[in-house]
Amino acid sequence: MLNITDKFRELATAGGRQPFCVIRAGDKTFLDDSIKSFQFQEVIFPEELTFGAACSGRFHFELETAENIPLSAEIRPYIGFGEYSEDAELCPLGVFCISKRYRRRNSYSVTCYDKMYRLEDKYKSELAFPTTSDKLLEEICEKYGLEFQGDAGSNSCDKMPADESVRNILGYLAGLEGACAVFDRYGRLCFRKMTDSGFRITRSNYASLDLKQDPMTVEKIEIDNGGDELIEEGEGTKLGTYRIYDPFASQHTAKKLYTMYGGFTYYGLELDMQGLPFLETGDIITVQNDCDDGLFTAVIGELNFTYNGSFWLTLSSKSKNPVQDSEDVETQEQQLQQMTKSLSTVYYNYRSERDVTVGGNLTSVAEVNLEVLEETSAVLAAQLVAEPKSDCLLTLSYTVEDLETPPEITASLKEGEHFPICLHNFFSAIPAGYITVRIYAKAEGGTVLFGKGRIIATVSGQHLAENAVNRSPNRTIYQSFLPFEIQMPEVRFPLQEHLLASTQIPLGGTEKESVIFRMDEYKVGFGISDDLIVPKSVQKAEIYSQDNVMYARLIFFNPISTQDAALLAPAFKILAVFTEEQEEHGVTDVVWDGNTQLVLTVDGMFVGASQIRVLYESAKGDMADGFSGEKLDDFDITAEAGKENIV
């Protein structure tokens, strides 16, 4: 628990208190007149009680300001109570580095993490092994500019584990002392142990208590250090056994941890309560029961503070689940719950996100991706609103993974009318696996527009996974940028802030590599500083992998004009950029939806690539409305000043 004055504690725990917030961002200070809200998360162990974890703290805040906060600015938030003044006592919440920022007019949204978040480099020590934990910690702190607070111990480390991150190494070193590695509220690295704070939370401090009735007791310590056998100390059931992984640990470590925590009893609980900023993760506290004067011992595993004028806290004491972790076999009640879950009806929904124009070619206008757990049946219900641009004959058809094709539906449409269409079909036999239900359309003798949001489809049935999926594995590693607003002739956005935040595989961006938006006669140029080559007139680009095949999906603003999409394959190439080499792969197939979407197919998943580039040679392809006929290094997008434009 943080060291605070009695006066501060009295103000913080009083009813009708008046909290205020101060955020220092670099050389700028923001007060309540510009701070809209913040959320602060501090975690010492993510699940049940354990040792050797290394979790990162997160701070997200929103401001109403025209000022800019540099990406390099250090963020230091504080909470106080009573009237704000420069002499008021403030309680620090931590020291954070900015991960991403987003501005919409004067609304500024910033997400930050503490230094633990950036310690993901694979660590190679220059020390001679065996060595001691304090020497290894000293080397890490010197290399990464970290300040350590406290005692690291002098434990023997026989060898350096291979391919481990700095963050994991810090956790292993902390685990030798029965602690977890965290950065404290002053930005200093420390090994935090479970410590009796002596603080009691009474009924007057909280609004609700969610208590696990069964207390947990540390009866046995098991350590996996990568050897052939587990290291054990103490005796107990599976429920009372606490296992950790630590390649530095030995029998001496197990004895030390058991001496420190053996026999310790605590409760799992969650409180919605007053925000008390002086509480820290790892604090052992007592909580008064909500109905009598009974007291429960708890260990703070996670703190989630929320500030929006009021200051609130969700406090969690993590513990095992006696049902899940018991040694008993699955009960009949659990089996019944699983059966009920399997037989419940699951709904997958689709709504069109863009306009779709249909002509004489068969075009996919909607698709719903299912995960089918076992062979089943399903019902498709869809509503479409067609806007014919000329008199035509509209034909609709649909398939389930090309396995079942019901009869087509046709309708004669007149120019200018809005024609609602309802589809309903029962699919009797859908196999297990990842299945796609598609709706196709074509308009003979004219064109038909299905506007954005005018196609709604639902597939429902039993034995379906609860969440809608794209084919698994299907990992997006590059996708288009978020909406932005043009406010000045030239704006530079850091590449990491907009690209890395929305990808699942890290890209090789530095703070110097920037995305540049330029406005010149309502033309917006978009490019990346290392001369990324991409097609013009692209509204959205996605690159993803599935079943050892790479796909690049390009969606254009206007319908594509070409005679044969298959002839485009030789014109496209996919370039994967790795740390020390580049791999260029030709496109094996091009699928065109007859409108604005191309899907390029390339063998290989390219996992670990720092960049994926789409290359196009106009001399080898015919795509009149998609390309300008030369190698390009930017998108050309027509835009109006002051309006949102999505790329």
Distance, CA of 215 to CA of 81 (rounded, Å):
35
Tell me the mean pLDDT in the region 621-625.
55
In terms of phi and psi (left: phi > 0; alpha: psi -120 to 50; beta: otherwise), the region of 346 is: beta
Q: pLDDT, tens digit, for every residue of 427-447?
A: 887 887 778 888 888 899 999
Confirm if 311 and 275 have CB atoms less than 8 A apart: yes
User: Any bridge partners for residue 72, and if so which?
Assistant: none
- Contact (Cβ atoms closer than 8 angstroms) between residue 21 and residue 93: no
Asked if residue 466 lies in contact with residue 409, where contact means CB atoms within 8 angstroms, the answer is: no
Per-residue pLDDT of 294-339, as tens digits, reads 899 999 999 999 998 889 999 999 887 665 555 444 455 556 666 6
| CA–CA distances in Å: residue 433 to residues 308, 391, 401, 402, 430 | 46, 41, 11, 14, 9
pTM of the prediction? 0.54
Q: What distance in Å separates the CA atoms of residue 647 and residue 542, rounded to the nearest whole number?
A: 11
Query: Which helix (H) or strand (E) segment is 364 a member of?
Result: strand 363-372
Do residues 525 and 518 touch, judged by C-beta distance below 8 A? Answer: yes
- Spatial neighbors of 414 by CB under 8 A, at least 6 apart, are 388, 391
Render pLDDT for 223-282 as a digit per residue (tens, 0 to 9): 999 888 899 999 988 889 998 999 999 999 999 999 999 999 999 999 999 999 999 999
> By CB neighbour count within 10 A (0-12 exposed, 13-18 middle, 19+ buried), where does 279 fall?
buried
Q: What is the DSSP string of 489-501?
A: SEEEEEHHHHHGG
How far apart, in whole angstroms, are the C-alpha atoms of residue 41 and residue 58?
A: 5
Q: Are 246 and 256 in contact (CB under 8 A)?
A: no
Q: Are strands 220-224 and 241-245 parallel, antiparallel or unpaired?
A: parallel
Residue 463: the pLDDT is 82
Per-residue DSSP letter, 346: E
